[in-house]
């Protein structure tokens, strides 16, 4: 896989900060949906979504070889 393009995102502070802000907004929205969920299956889906979004926040370490 060509990680060069992802390194541009991970190493551009302004772009990276905007990316993290976007992920945080998505995580907050998932938390709201989780609180409003009517069944356990929906809660599990939202938990999975939050876990995946949080994992994306570690992309910088992965593309720069610090995993």
Domain range annotation of the chain: 4-63
CA distances from 9 to 17, 27, 43 (A): 10, 20, 31
pLDDT at 66: 66
The per-residue pLDDT string of the chain (67 residues; one tens digit each, 9 = 90 and over) reads: 677 888 899 999 999 999 999 999 999 999 999 999 999 999 999 999 999 999 999 999 988 886 5
pTM to 2 decimal places: 0.86
CB–CB of 53/27 below 8 Å? yes
Which tokens go with 58?
Answer: 């570690």
pLDDT at 65: 85
DSSP string, 1-67: ---HHHHHHHH-HHHHHHHHHHHHHHHHHHHHHHHH-SSHHHHHHHHHHHHHHHHHTTHHHHHTT--
């Amino acid at each position: 896989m060509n990680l060069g393009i992802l390194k541009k995102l991970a190493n551009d502070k302004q772009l990276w900060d905007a990316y993290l802000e976007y992920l945080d907004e998505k995580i907050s929205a998932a938390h709201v949906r989780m609180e409003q969920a009517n069944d356990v299956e929906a809660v599990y889906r939202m938990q999975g979504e939050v876990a995946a979004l949080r994992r994306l926040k570690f992309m910088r370490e992965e593309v720069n070889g610090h995993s």
